[in-house]
Amino acid sequence: MKSQNFDYSWLKALFINCTLKPSPKLSHTDGLIDISKIIMEKQWVSVEVIRAADYPIANGIMPDMTKEGWKEDAWPALYKKVLEADILIITTPIWLWDKSSQCTKIIERLYSNSWDTNESWQYAFYGKVGGCLVTWNEDGAKHCAMWVLYSLQHIGYTIPPQADAAWLWEVWPWPSYKDKNSWWPENDFTNKNTTFMTWNLMHMAHILNENKGIPAYGNLPEAWKDWNKFWFENPEYR
């Protein structure tokens, strides 16, 4: 099979790197992001990478925490980027086998917008595609990815097959991903998973774009409140 290009030039992808370290400190997670980003850009996808720790994102579960008394909140501006992107990839290191507190905060803030609706009256994230990248030594990548992907599908994202990838090293104190004596940039397992994830995210975003999202029937919260029950009936009353 020959190398084949796909014209995905109208797609936008946003990576949110949830490392605890602000720029310009080295983020090993950036290494995995780069792999995915390069593949996307070769298909003309517009890619943006944001590091959460570089922004004063407030803790809270309201869309704009400055309205709740916080002095500043970078989230409303970042949320606009999320809304513009067809593909969202949340990336996190692992600490004590859990996603980072920056990652937990990003999910809380996505949740704070989960009551918004799109032009079809579906939840705002419907029609978008979500993925996850995780880095660290030892253990816990799947658990972190599981949580991120579940949260994304809950608020409206579609999760294509194999929508995550990870780089792990078995135990402390081995080198981290971007350390010189790490030979993991050569690691076939991580590279394959990252590549497959990247393609499945692009393909699914393309399919949903072509289809103008998910059909707006059966998933409209306001209509449900107005007693359109979309063929629901209570089995006991049949």
Residues 54-83 that bind a second copy (CB under 8 A): 59-61
Whether 39 and 73 have beta carbons less than 8 Å apart is answered as no
Site for a second copy in 101-120 (CB under 8 A): 101-105, 107-108, 111
Stretch that binds a second copy, among 9-17, 74-82, 83-91, 151-159 (CB under 8 A): 151-159
Q: Which residue has the tokens 């570089």?
A: 54
Contacts to a second copy from residues 172-201, by CB under 8 A: 172, 185-187, 189-192, 194-196, 198-200
The least distance separating a second copy from the CB of residue 15, rounded to whole angstroms, comes to 14
- The answer to the question of residue 4 lying near a second copy (CB under 8 A) is yes
Main-chain dihedrals φ then ψ at residue 135, nearest 5 degrees: -130, 145
Single-letter code of the amino acid located at 30: D
Closest CA to 72 of 87, 59, 61: 59
Question: From CA 36, how far away is CA 191, in angstroms rounded?
Answer: 9
State the amino acid at position 26 in one-letter form: L
Q: Which stretch binds a second copy (CB under 8 A): 9-17, 39-47, 73-81, 82-90?
A: 39-47
Minimum distance from residue 77 beta carbon to a second copy (Å)? 19
